[in-house]
DNA sequence: CTGTTAGCGCGTTCAC
DNA sequence: GTGAACGCGCTAACAG
């Protein structure tokens, strides 16, 4: 039986007014312990629990948080793990503080019908986490011009306001470290399988590569930077084309999924990994452990990324902090895809 | 600027009452085309869009659907793909019809704080999809005793009411087919790596195995049924123990993740796959393509499972259908983990 | 400490 | 066709 008891029922049965019931449930101090107990007891009997929709409408407090994610609907099953880990982290942190979660998934192939700001307004959303969004997305620009607090995962805004925070690993450093690892093994003919030119993390990682190169007195040439769009197939094709004219001893990929495409092309060219060509990835998706050979990569803790994003957003929403940059740890995982020269 | 225009603003500016605006937005027929156009134009100018929270509260129609999932928070990254595919399917089907989605994730290790019925009541949820829930879960029992329509993914209820539907592949048949495939390769000493005894799909698949055995004039012995709890580690340990006393030529696993544990134990026993022992999986998670050897398995379309669940739930909620059993296609994927004897 | 009342933004009768 | 008025279930200010 779904007999939805309302605040009125509780009030009547407890012999008080609805105002008191409301205050009892919201832990107001100005209420006698005796009536509070009485009310809670009656509520228990009636199996009453406040209706969140009504609460949301009447309360001035914002109690729902948005999660706007692009690229999950159209991503490969192989790396959708990342998104779900982020989601789990966000969910965990939000549930703990009894916020509500509203999810908006953007299919980057389709034209999105509704603006992000509109999505938020319609649902009384008090703050939102964004992931996989492009900085030049007009809807994104519109959103950050509202006064809705935002936390960005894996990207960053230059002119950030106190309402905008962001969370990521130190991509420059991670990229530099894994490049150094390759360089230290005496590789010099190195190609980079980058992602999308416009992507923030892409440029950060490129910068890390350049720093590592510079530390070794080397320079990164444009022709050795391939763009695989963070896609397996594109990475495969780009590598194939590249191998027709070049013979690198190592390829550094900016995502595991691209590393897999890279490895496929290398093998098809009759080359061995890591004997002929070393390969590195980025993210540490589960498959990297099972490929031939297992891939040396950068482990990102996506759960923590999501969790920290939700935590920081709550800080901003509750006025406990201004938007800042939160950095999450990463870890280099050495497996068998890199071999000294 | 977040200037949240309300229905009042539109009404005032269009020179009509809020009732008319509401009717214009909800496609009432009894409104002149002229004023409807006028209202839509003004709404556009004001960037107005109805507040869903208020709509949800005032409307008698149910416009949000729940998704209650257990086992995603505590599942391995390796097979959380399944859950996210289901989620994507559900999301896609729900968004299309402009329902709202409310997600409730249950950590099967922790004691859940809130009953499913309560979760639904608090949010005015009109119907819900359940996944990974145990039939003997008291909260589940409570929920199906309300009049909230439910669609169950991958499990089933005997005394089902017109408000309860369920979606899954034909597990008996799929299990029978893959067992036959092993049997046809002349394997006779076969062990089964089953999941959890209480799980619905587990028993269905067990039944499929028995049917296949019977068709070959064989019988399945209890001692050859191992229970790996749908976990890699448990499957590994059970296999290890089993191999100390038995020497099967094939092991049929009820999930890919368990097949991976099984394969690890086989390799550690100094045996080769498939030369010494053939192995099959179930689900077709991405990793199966990369293991050594790639695993022969049953492909489930989890996206479709989720999508059909949401579609069927909407039918029930809208009174267009009674709860029924929806069956989704599966496919046997033959790779290299099975070898004829 | 408690009751009353006015909203929150919208859907929905019921008159006109 | 349209407007006025009530109600959804709750919070929050105000009075007492």
Does residue A18 sit in the same domain as residue A86?
A: no
Any domain includes B57: no
Does residue A316 sit in the same domain as residue A288?
A: no
Any domain includes B341: no
pLDDT per position as a tens digit, A23-42: 999 999 888 999 999 999 99
Does residue A158 sit in the same domain as residue A188?
A: no
Beta carbon of A35 within 7 Å of strand C?
A: yes
Does residue B176 sit in the same domain as residue B296?
A: yes
pLDDT the model gives residue A3: 57
Residue B257: pLDDT above 80? yes
Any domain includes A29: yes
Burial class (CB in 10 A: 0-12, 13-18, 19+), A65: buried
Does residue B185 sit in the same domain as residue B219?
A: yes
The CATH code of the domain that includes A314 is 3.40.50.2300
Judging contacts by C-beta atoms under 8 Å, the chain A residues touching residue B285 are 77
Any domain includes B58: no
What is the domain count for chain B? Answer: 3
The whole-number average pLDDT for the span A304-320 is 97
Q: For A149 and C7, how far is CA from C1' in angstroms?
A: 26
Does residue A236 sit in the same domain as residue A257?
A: yes
Among A101-110, A163-172, A206-215, A321-330, name the one with the lowest average pLDDT: A101-110
CA distance B48 to B43: 5
Does residue B70 sit in the same domain as residue B165?
A: yes
Nucleotide with minimal C1' distance from the CA of B60 is C11
Nucleotide with minimal C1' distance from the CA of B30 is D1
pLDDT per position as a tens digit, A249-261: 999 999 999 999 9
- DSSP of A254-303: SSHHHHHHHHHHHHHTT--TTTT-EEE-SB--GGGGTSSSPPBEEEE-HH
CA distance B49 to A293: 53
Any domain includes B2: no
Does residue B162 sit in the same domain as residue B84?
A: yes
Residue A1: pLDDT above 50? no
Any domain includes A336: no
Any domain includes A91: yes
Does residue B293 sit in the same domain as residue B322?
A: no
pLDDT per position as a tens digit, A196-216: 998 999 999 999 999 999 999
Does residue A147 sit in the same domain as residue A221?
A: no
**pTM score of the predicted model:** 0.95
B51/A121 touch (CB, cutoff 8 Å), yes or no: yes
Residues A300, A79: contact at Cβ < 8 Å? no
Residue A181: pLDDT above 90? yes
Q: Report the protein residue whose CA lies nearest the C1' of nucleotide C7.
A: A58
pLDDT per position as a tens digit, A121-159: 999 999 999 999 988 899 999 999 999 999 999 999 887
pLDDT the model gives residue B1: 41
Does residue B196 sit in the same domain as residue B138?
A: no
Q: Is A5 helix (H, G, I), strand (E, B) or coil?
A: coil
CA distance A13 to A109: 55
Residue A227: pLDDT above 90? yes
Based on its alpha-carbon atoms, the radius of gyration of chain A, rounded to whole angstroms, reads: 25
The whole-number average pLDDT for the span B61-65 is 94
Structural domain harbouring A117:
64-169+301-329
Any domain includes B245: yes
Long-range own/partner contacts, residues A238-246 (CB < 8 A, 24 or more apart): A238/A193, A239/A191, A239/A193, A239/A265, A239/A266, A240/A265, A240/A268, A240/A269, A242/A191, A243/A269, A243/A271, A246/A189, A246/A191
The whole-number average pLDDT for the span B24-42 is 93
Does residue B187 sit in the same domain as residue B151?
A: no
pLDDT per position as a tens digit, B131-162: 999 888 999 999 999 999 999 999 998 877 89
- Percent of chain A at pLDDT > 90 equals 88
Sequence-ordered strand ranges (E) for chain A: 64-70, 100-106, 125-131, 150-153, 164-169, 190-194, 225-227, 250-253, 278-280, 297-300, 325-328, 330-333
Nearest by CB to residue A290, choosing from B1, B92, B291, is B291
The whole-number average pLDDT for the span A45-51 is 94
Cα B232 to Cα B75, B86, B269, B276: the distances in Å are 11, 21, 17, 21
């Amino acid at each position: 039986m779904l007999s939805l008891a309302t605040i009125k029922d509780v009030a009547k049965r407890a012999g008080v007014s609805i105002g008191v019931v409301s205050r009892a449930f919201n832990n107001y101090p100005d209420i006698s312990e005796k009536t509070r107990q009485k009310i809670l007891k009656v509520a228990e009997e009636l199996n009453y629990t406040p209706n969140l929709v009504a609460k949301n409408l009447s309360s001035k407090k914002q109690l729902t948080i948005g999660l706007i994610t692009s690229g999950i609907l159209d991503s490969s099953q192989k790396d959708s793990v990342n998104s779900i880990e982020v989601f789990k982290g966000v969910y965990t942190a939000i549930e703990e503080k009894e916020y509500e979660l509203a999810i908006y998934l953007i299919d980057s192939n389709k034209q999105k019908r509704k603006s992000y700001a509109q999505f938020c307004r319609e649902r009384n959303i008090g703050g939102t986490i964004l992931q996989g969004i492009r900085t030049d997305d007009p809807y994104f620009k519109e959103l950050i011009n509202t006064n809705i607090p935002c936390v960005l995962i894996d990207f960053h805004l230059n002119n950030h306001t106190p309402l905008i925070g962001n969370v990521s690993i130190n991509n420059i450093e991670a990229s530099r470290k894994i490049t150094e690892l390759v360089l230290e093994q005496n590789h010099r003919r190195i190609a980079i399988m980058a992602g999308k030119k416009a992507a923030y993390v892409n440029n950060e990682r490129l910068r890390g590569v350049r720093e590592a190169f510079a530390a070794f007195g080397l320079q990164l040439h444009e022709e050795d930077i391939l763009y695989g769009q963070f896609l397996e197939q594109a990475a495969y094709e780009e590598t194939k084309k590249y191998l027709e004219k070049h013979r690198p001893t190592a390829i550094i990929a900016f995502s595991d999924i691209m590393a897999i495409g890279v490895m496929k092309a290398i093998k098809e060219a009759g080359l061995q990994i890591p004997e002929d060509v070393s390969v590195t990835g980025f993210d540490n998706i589960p498959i990297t452990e099972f490929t031939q050979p297992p891939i040396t990569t950068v482990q990102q803790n996506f759960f923590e990324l999501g969790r920290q994003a939700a935590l920081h957003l709550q800080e901003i929403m509750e006025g406990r902090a201004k938007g800042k940059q939160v950095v999450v740890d990463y870890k280099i995982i050495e497996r068998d895809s890199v071999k000294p020269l």
